[in-house]
Amino acid sequence: MPDVNREWHLKSRPVGVPTPENFALVEADVPTPGPGQVLVRNEYVSVDPYMRGRMSAAKSYVDPFELDKVMQGGAVGEVVASDAEGIAVGDHVLHFFGWREYAAVDAKNAVKVDPDAAPLSTYLGVLGMTGLTAYAGLLRTASFKEGDSVFVSGAAGAVGSQVGQIARLKGASRVVGSAGSDEKVKLLTEEYGFDAAFNYKNGPVSEQLRAAAPDGVDVYFDNVGGDHLEAAIGSLNRDGRVAICGAISVYNATEPAPGPKNLARLIQTRGRIEGFLVGDHYDLQQQFVQEVGPWVRSGELKYRETVVEGIGNNLEAFLGVLRGDNTGKMIVKL
């Protein structure tokens, strides 16, 4: 086992788009696990859009990252030392201490995973928090029901691609997605089974959505906000539901973004907009794995991963998520 543990620290709070100067790759001692802890050699770590919010000091649903300390995020790896009952050396666990090579983790905060049941990386994506976000947001927050027409923004991303496929597998009448490149649009229709998709850079979102969903939408799963939300409200059917998962279009904004100009349409449609956090829906975890796991194993539900190699490229992978470089889940392999 090496003596040095490389880890990423937040050096200053970004204003607008984060830059490499806001971060530092620091060498530290490999920690020794205390009572009730395990030492994990991280094999895969997650980078996600929500991490941008934690880099700001503004009060939010989760505490900001502390300056000059290692950041956090989902990770999965092998236990190389244990001072805890129930978790042995050689076990693999999922935990929340990414952005580093080695992590000392309280056993109560580590979840054992089976690398033989599914590839380790999937526990950070399609079978992990990402997948549960899609499942809970669509089925509980948006109250999806068979026959609904569904629109998903950021549909080629890790969450969006799963939302569209779950909707299709559960009997949606039409599934429409938006993405940021023609290549991603092709992926949505040819691999993920979306009925229609469009490149939001090719014209006004409202016009492209009306063409893709001429009969309107019953459910909108929002990963983007901004013009996508306004377009969805404009196409919302009677009793339509909007689940707000993310708003990546404004994450780097330095000025408040204007709200949709057509909110009054919700009166006419009796529409509902509701935000949600996956942390409020962990009671669905077992149901989610039982239903989605077989779809993944059978190939009915497909997934993509964009894998970046090396802890030294962890930051670039994160910045890539904000740019939309990834197709599916962005993961760093250490």
Whether the per-residue pLDDT at 142 is higher than 70: the answer is yes
**Residue 63 pLDDT level (bands cut at 50, 70, 90):** confident
pLDDT at 116: 85
CA dihedral 304, 322, 281, 283 (to 10 degrees): 40
Q: What is the DSSP string of 198-245?
A: EEGGGS-HHHHHHHH-TT-EEEEEESS-HHHHHHHHHHEEEEEEEEE-
Residue 293: the pLDDT is: 87
Give pLDDT tens digits for 187-203: 999 999 999 999 999 99
Q: Which helix (H) or strand (E) holds 267?
A: helix 265-269
What is the enclosing helix (H) or strand (E) of 179?
strand 174-179
Q: What is the mean pLDDT of the segment spanning 132-155?
A: 97
Average model confidence (pLDDT) across the chain = 93
Mean pLDDT, residues 233-240: 98
pLDDT digits (tens, 9 = 90+) for 244-291: 998 876 766 667 667 799 999 999 999 999 999 998 998 998 899 889
Q: Hey, which residues does 306 pair with through a beta bridge?
A: 330
The DSSP letter of residue 193 is -
Mean pLDDT across the stretch 34-42? 97
Determine which of 153-162, 172-181, 248-257 has the lowest per-residue pLDDT on average: 248-257
The answer for residues whose C-beta is within 8 angstroms of residue 116's C-beta and 6 or more apart is: none
Cα separations (Å) of 248 from 154, 227, 253? 9, 12, 10
Query: What's the rounded Cα separation, in Å, for the pair 1 and 315?
Result: 24
Residue 297 banded pLDDT, cuts 50, 70, 90: confident
pLDDT at 49: 87
Confidence of residue 168 (pLDDT cuts 50, 70, 90): very high
C-alpha distances (whole Å) from 330 to each of 197, 314, 317, 324, 325 are: 21, 10, 7, 10, 9
Do 172 and 143 meet the contact criterion of CB atoms below 8 Å apart? Answer: no
pLDDT band for 318, please (50, 70, 90 cuts). Answer: very high
Q: Cα–Cα–Cα angle for 234, 230, 58, nearest 5°?
A: 155
